[in-house]
Amino acid sequence: MGSNGSWYAVILNLSFSSFVLAFNGYDPNSLDAIICNYTLPWISKHKAGVLYRISLPSNFSDMEVSVVRLRSSTFWARGANFSFLDIPPRVMPLPHAKRLAMVYENLRNWSSSYYQLPGYIFLAPVVSFMAFDASNPTRITSPKLTLTIHGEPISIRFPQLRVLETNTTAKCVRFQPGGRAEFIKMVTPNLCTTTIAEGHFSIVVPNRTPPWSPSPNSTNAGLWEWSVIGFVAVIFAFVFIALIVMVIFKVFVLKKITEMEKESDKGMALSTRWIGMSKMPFASTTRTHAALDIDYAN
């Protein structure tokens, strides 16, 4: 009981850290880690050979995840036909495992958040499948098993296709673990086949939406609006320049007056005297005395 408790604690810790990464950055690898760590502890509680749907955290409730536990011998002889996936006989898990757990993912509305293909739009949700060693139900290892195909290719069905427009060609696409996309064979409009049992799959169609171009009416309206804005801006510019010129002129005049007052303070101060009803400046002394004509006469 103690070992199982510690194992579940490790899984919960990994799940929480991966959950934070995937939710913040929409990282597909982190999302796979979340689904793996959240799904594996529940496998031992379910009967082998029966597909069970897993309840995910509320943040990923729109996704659909299912799991089934199988014997490797039965898987090799009969294959597996569950959910959207048809795995034919003669598919071997590596490294060898006595039992394996198949986990099916359907991202549904989250598809375009985790996967993008420039120039194309999704007609179907992104789906994937993973295999894990389930030989020990109480301790299922998290590293994925590699499925090697020795017979017919694996078929992937997409029942939830968007309506196709006329003159459009849909394509099956496989997103590799590193994020690179490649087109694979399409058998029917909703059926794809692959000889590589790894990655995420979907159906896409070229995005032929024409680039937005303004109508003549909207263009004329836009020109009129910009003309009004430009006219108002010019008026404000002239007013602003006039205010600046007035301020500069006032500063210049005040500076001149100040200089004149300073110069006047340097001269001799004259006293004043009332003459009649007027107050007139009066010099109390003179610098030179006036010469009288009588002096020259003598």
Whether residue 76 lies inside any domain: the answer is yes
Q: Give which of 219, 151, 159 is closest to 188, Cα–Cα.
A: 159
Q: Tell me: do 268 and 248 sit in the same domain.
A: yes
Q: Identify whether 187 is part of a domain.
A: yes
The answer to whether residues 189 and 64 belong to one domain is yes
- Asked whether residue 46 falls in the same domain as residue 113, the answer is yes
For residue 71, the one-letter residue type is R
Rounded distance, CA 223 to CA 62, Å? 46
Last residue of a domain, one of 162, 184, 206: 206
Q: What is the CATH number of the domain that holds 183?
A: 2.60.220
Lowest mean pLDDT, pick from 4-18, 96-110, 134-148, 228-242: 4-18
Average pLDDT over residues 205-231: 65
Are 58 and 143 in a shared domain? yes
The amino acid that residue 277 corresponds to is: M
Whether residue 195 sits in one domain with residue 167: yes
The string of pLDDT tens digits covering residues 159-203 is: 777 766 655 788 999 998 877 899 998 998 889 999 988 889 999
Q: For residue range 65-109, list pLDDT tens digits in order.
A: 998 989 999 999 999 998 889 999 999 999 988 988 899 999 998
Other beta carbons within 10 Å of 215:
8
Answer with the one of 182, 206, 230 that is the final residue of a domain.
206
Residue 288's pLDDT is 57
Q: How many domains does the chain have?
A: 2
What Rg, from alpha-carbon coordinates, does the chain have?
45
Query: How far are the Cα atoms of 132, 233, 237, 247, 250 from residue 240, in angstroms, in the given order?
Result: 75, 10, 5, 11, 16
What was the pLDDT predicted at 129?
A: 92
Domain of 253? 216-284
Torsion region of 167: left, alpha or beta (phi above 0 gives left; psi -120 to 50 gives alpha): left
Q: Rounded distance, CA 16 to CA 22, Å?
A: 10
Same domain, 250 and 200: no
- The 10s digit of each residue's pLDDT in 241-292 is 988 888 888 887 788 777 776 766 555 555 666 666 666 666 555 555 555 5
pTM higher than the cut 0.75? no
- Kindly state whether residues 133 and 266 are assigned to the same domain: no
In a domain, 17, yes or no: no
Q: pLDDT, tens digit, for every residue of 122-134?
A: 999 999 999 988 8
pLDDT above 70 for 21: no
Q: For residue 237, give the H/E element and its range.
A: helix 216-266
CA distance 38 to 61: 13
